[in-house]
Chain A
Amino acid sequence: MAGIVGLAAGILLTAGSVLAVRSWTSTAAQHLIEPEKEKPKVAVADQAEVAYCTPQFKQVLERVLHSCGLAAEGEGARRGCKPSDVKTFASISDDDFNALFTPLKDRGGVVLFDEGKDDLDDNAKKLLEERWFARKGARYFFVVARASKTGSPSKNNALSHRRANSVMFFLKQLSNDPEIEQKVGLLWLGNEFAQLSKEYCSWPNSRMNEKCDDEPINRSAFVSWVDCRL
């Protein structure tokens, strides 16, 4: 009798185990073909996108990218934007254009130049180096060069262009990055558009200890990484 009970128990337990295993694998197989109702969301890696990336700001920057050659690749890609281009594509008043960059006050910096010159002094190089290496999640580095509030437009255009190129040349040397052309956006403005008022003297700049008003602040290049997905 004990033998029969033992045998029956063995058969029942084994059958129960087998059925349980079958049930567990079947349940898993069923889950496998059913979409998960509450699938945990996994963030996807992407460039930084911070609060100042308003639609208007991004629109202007995107126009810069497309009009100034950053979005294009290859040898023939055009580098930089002339003031006339900026006026056209920005479709925005001078003050509104400058205001767009206000959130970049601490992220960026203003490199100041001597009158009529495009050479970078040591403090300018130091500021550029600090800002360049603080890239974090930004994809594009913008350089907005200016010349003077006075003088002829053609002379200012040329000087502004040389200042933008000075910054670019230094960044190339600094970074040794073969992809730099796809990262740096250059704008050079003459005195016909978006000149800075002396309030911008309070922004981090390369000559913090020198006298600043609305003339020196426009002998400058504003530089900053931009934490927007464009």
Chain B
Amino acid sequence: MGVYVLRRLLYAVPILIGVNLLTFVLFFVVNAPDDMARMQLGEKRVTPEAVQLWKQAHGYDKPLLFNATTTGIAQFTDTIFFDKSVRLFAFQFGASDDGRNIGADIAQRMWPSLAIALPVLIVGLAVNISVALGLALLRATYVDIGSVVVLVALLSISGLFYIIGGQFVLSKLLHLAPISGYDTGLNALKFLVLPVLIGVISGIGAGTRWYRTLFLEEISKDYVRTARAKGLSETRVLVRHVLGNALIPILTGVVVVLPLLFMGSLLTESFFGIPGLGSYTIDAISNQDFAIVRSMVFLGAVLYILGLILTDFSYALVDPRIRLQ
């Protein structure tokens, strides 16, 4: 097991280097620092001096890969590639275009993101699994057939509709929760209710349909017939045998997104004015602040790789047939 962990972590290194190189090419070769400066300064009245000044202020005035003006190791370290890309490996994100420390911003803004994403995941999982199990118990009845209509309708509706509709009905008409905003400490709770509720509801359609399919697939297997032949009740067959096996794909599907919960949700956070990483990214994109976008892309890749490694471990934990070596 230990050896397996080590090998998987080593495999992650070349993937991260690849991600890093690719983002470097995208952000600095396709979109050169001169273009960035022009965009930041506005299209009109951009003088070459102003561009030069902006580049100097933000550290983009160095050569891309190789600095011939210095000597020794500085020929490689005093470059854009080293400053902006290699430093990402040490999670040194540098400063954003408006001069803020990106690392500090991320550390501060990931908690509001997590405060929404984690409850959405846990409550959503509980709701989806229970509803799906209930539908599996009532399979091929009118309840089940009707549920197909309802669930397909639920999953066909755009997430935007849930957000705007929820804000309108629950906050504007019924005044049950604030429309948007955020606060520190426990005062944040009243701001979380609406986004969490809407997050859960918008996931029911797809989640329940998928879990119901997983349950029905397991129900048709031979060991379920064996369990029934023992004289077990249908509920016990479902909970102990079917759920136990269907949880394997469900759990591993959840584990892979666990690290990404830190990244927050772009839509929800922007609409509810939550100061998390999702709205951070959206704001950076609309402000053309490539330093932040680059950091978030890299962070996303790291967390995704972490999620995949965790998935493999969780398989070994929940499925006795799988041993890691």
A interacts with B: no
Binding site for B on A (CB under 8 A): none
